[in-house]
Amino acid sequence: MRDLAVTSTEHTLWVSVIIVGFVVVLAVAALLSLLIYLVKIIDRRVVEVRDTLKAAAANTADTVLIPQVAEGVEAVLAEGLQHHLFLGRVLGKVKA
Amino acid sequence: MTSLVVLTVVDIVLLIAGLAFYLYWAGSLLNRIAANLEDSFESAAAILGHARLIGPGVGHINRTGGVVAGALPLLYGMAEEIVTDISPPAAAQPHVREAASESTAQPGYEPTQPASGHRRSRLLELVGFAMEG
């Protein structure tokens, strides 16, 4: 390997650049560690949101019963109308 | 001189390796977050589908229940009228007269009394009013 001829100033600058490079590497590592920390917080919160939504979906799954209840109430109304008709007929006969 | 070159190379390699490591780590975390968000979206869509049934169903129940609640007093009235009309006079049914309480007994004519009381008394109890005596 051929030796490079550098002056004292260039040597000093090179060393300075290497030191700055290491500082930059450390700064990048620190910032990326912060990013990872924040992403992990997001991950935890997303898991909580997912679990909450799953529980909510399990709870709201029973809403399929509402139309059935509505049909049941409708049947009660129909039966009540039959009773009304029956009582109307009977009442007329009783009064007669 | 050689040490400077080596240090420079080490510097660059450290930077690239650090970036690769952290980006891989962040990428895997973001992948997991994306999967969880997808699950959350599916759950939210399921909740939305379930919630769509609530409004029309409850409206239907309210309408029908209102009609039933409005019609029941008519049925009570008609049934009570029939009971009053078909009940024989008190003299013809002494056992009924004895069974009827004093509060529900009517002078001279004591029809068969429904066990639950009269419609009016039930309506008054419903609104919290209690008749004395």
- What ipTM was estimated for this complex? 0.71
Q: Within 10 Å of residue A26's Cβ, how many Cβ atoms? A: 12
Residues A25-79: tens digit of each pLDDT: 999 999 999 999 999 999 999 999 999 999 999 988 888 899 899 999 889 888 8
For chain A, say whether B71 makes contact (Cβ under 8 Å). yes
For chain B, say whether A58 makes contact (Cβ under 8 Å). no
Structural domain ending residue among the three candidates B50, B70, B86:
B86
Distance CA B78, CA B127 (A): 22
Higher pLDDT, A94 or B70: B70
Return the pLDDT at B110.
52
Distance CA A37, CA A33 (A): 6
Q: Tell me, yes or no, whether A12 lies in a domain.
A: yes
* Number of domains observed in the structure of chain A: 1
Both tokens assigned to B127: 């609104």
DSSP class per residue in chain A: -PPP---HHHHHHHHHHHHHHHHHHHHHHHHHHHHHHHHHHHHHHHHHHHHHHHHHHHHHGGGGHHHHHHHHHHHHHHHHHHHHHHHHHHHHHHH-
For A52, A88, B125, the CA distances from B116, given in Å and listed in that order, are 48, 22, 12
Contact A96, B86 (CB under 8 A): no
Q: Tell me, yes or no, whether A57 lies in a domain.
A: yes
Residue ranges of B 29-48 with Cβ closer than 8 A to chain A: 29-30, 32-33, 36-37, 39-40, 43-44, 46-47
Which of A82, A65, A71 has its CA nearest to residue B64? A71
Same domain, B20 and B80: yes
For chain B, say whether A92 makes contact (Cβ under 8 Å). no
* Number of domains observed in the structure of chain B: 2
For chain A, say whether B126 makes contact (Cβ under 8 Å). no
Rg (chain B; Cα; Å):
41
Q: Tell me, yes or no, whether A2 lies in a domain.
A: no
Same domain, B4 and B39: yes
Contact B11, A22 (CB under 8 A): yes
Q: Tell me, yes or no, whether A3 lies in a domain.
A: no
Same domain, B80 and B109: no
pLDDT tens, per residue, chain B with 133 residues: 788 889 999 999 999 999 999 999 999 999 999 999 999 999 999 999 989 888 999 999 999 888 888 888 888 777 777 777 666 665 655 555 555 555 455 555 555 555 555 555 555 666 666 666 5
Same domain, B36 and B6: yes
Which domain does A66 fall in, by range? 8-95
Interface touch B43/A56, C-beta < 8 Å: yes
Residue matched to tokens 């959350």: B40
Return the pLDDT at B68.
85
Distance CA B83, CA A9 (A): 120
Return the pLDDT at B81.
76
Which domain does B40 fall in, by range? 1-86
Calculate ∠ Cα B36-B40-B45, nearest 5°. 150
For chain A, say whether B72 makes contact (Cβ under 8 Å). yes
Same domain, B21 and B31: yes
CB contacts of B1 in chain A (<8 Å) are 3-4, 6
Q: Tell me, yes or no, whether A90 lies in a domain.
A: yes
For chain B, say whether A27 makes contact (Cβ under 8 Å). no
Return the pLDDT at B96.
54
Return the pLDDT at A13.
92
**Chain B residue with the nearest C-alpha to that of A35:** B26
Q: Within 10 Å of residue A96's Cβ, how many Cβ atoms? A: 5
Same domain, B76 and B110: no
CB contacts of B39 in chain A (<8 Å) are 50, 53-54
